[in-house]
Amino acid sequence: MALVQHNNLPSIDRVAAEGIDICLPDEINPELTSINIGFLNMMPDTAIAATERQFLRLLGSGDQTSCKVYPFTIAGIERSAQAHEYIQKYYSNFEELKTKKLDAMVITGANVMQPVLTNESFWGGLEEVLVWSKDNVRSTVCSCLATHAAVKVFYNIDRRHLGKKCWGVFEHKVENSSHPLTMDVPDTVNMCHSRFNDISFDDFDSQQIDNLIVSEKAGVQLAAEKDLSMIYFQGHPEYDDISLLKEYKREIYLYLSGEREDYPPVPENYFDQTSLAFVEAYKKLVKNQPPVIDLIEQFPEAELQAGVKNPWKQAAYTLFKHWTDSLIR
């Protein structure tokens, strides 16, 4: 598969440098089927470009298609002036995208600000995209919060707060190894989660939605409508190996700045034993004195980065390859 560089999105050049196959519109291989994918990026400013790259890598994993990705966003998400300028320069407008023949949609997660999802400032725009996509594209992939929003919109099922964050890397079982999405995925696979809320196995099952990858501890990772019109990830298959590390550092920064009261827990099953020694040493340093922002400069990021791995990467690539291939069947 090739990603088609039909705009000047900087992330395309970044993933090309990593070895992802990129072509210009006049270089599309006629033996491949062309597909157009809308990409609703709701992530905050600090993660907007990284999220682009993460999903572009996955969308470039198929071998039967050439893919044009159309990033866009919605109103109600707090943005800096710099981010607004970036979006204006590189992103499409949803109203314009409605006139294009999109084959599929990908919808990211977002920062949660409200205990009730429908009270989020971006809810109206997200609901509009979900409803339009259900009626106008072949299949929509939802990630994390987008899954909770979709289940609310289409089935009026509310997410449930877990009491504490489901955060880390967890063992999962493939429930149906012959399913079009999960074939070739190992029966047991470690995948990551980062969320406070949950849609349960029984919630999906009650609507005849197939539970495909499930963890005894972390719950449902992947579920799908029987016709593949909606694909529901509760975790983050797109995450890089350092994504959870970046989140952990951000939470420590919030503690040091006084924006959270408690020192953040460590993502489960993520750091190796050597890294955990650095984690504990830094925690001891911080806890032995009043929290001040300057202590973030001593966070052992480089040492921790050397010890993290991405055991979900191959499974994520396989899942997205099967998904993009399904769009042409």
Q: What pLDDT is stored for residue 292 in this prediction? A: 92
Q: Which of 236, 247, 251, 322 is catalytic?
A: 236
Delimit the domains of the chain by residue range.
Answer: 2-239+310-326, 243-305
The answer to whether the CB of 301 falls within 8 A of the CB of 9 is no
The residue to which tokens 């529901």 are assigned: 232
CATH architecture of 2-239+310-326: 3-Layer(aba) Sandwich (3.40)
Question: Distances in Å between the alpha carbon of 96 and those of 55, 89, 106, 124, 159?
Answer: 22, 15, 17, 18, 32
Terminus-to-terminus CA distance in the chain, angstroms?
Answer: 15
Indicate which residue of 52, 120, 225, 238 is catalytic. 238
The answer to pTM > 0.85 is yes
- Tell me, yes or no, if 238 is annotated catalytic: yes
144 vs 20, 285, 327, CA distance in Å?
Answer: 25, 34, 22
- Distances from the Cα of 12 to the Cαs of 24, 77, 110, 115, 218, in angstroms? 11, 24, 22, 35, 33
Residue/partner pairs of 158-162 with CB below 8 Å, 24 or more apart: 158/117, 159/117, 159/197, 159/198, 159/199, 160/197, 160/198, 160/199, 160/200, 161/115, 161/196, 161/197, 161/198, 162/195, 162/196, 162/197, 162/198
Catalytic residue among 52, 67, 120, 144: 144
Cβ proximity of 237 and 316 under 8 Å: yes
Going residue by residue through the chain, which has 329 residues, state the pLDDT in tens, using 9 for 90 and above.
Answer: 679 999 999 999 999 999 888 888 888 888 778 899 999 999 999 999 999 999 999 998 777 778 999 999 999 999 999 999 999 999 999 999 999 899 999 999 998 888 999 999 999 999 999 999 999 999 999 999 999 999 999 999 999 999 999 999 999 999 999 999 999 999 999 999 999 999 999 999 999 999 999 999 999 999 999 999 999 999 999 999 999 999 999 999 999 999 999 999 999 999 999 999 999 999 999 999 988 999 999 999 999 999 898 999 999 999 999 999 898 86
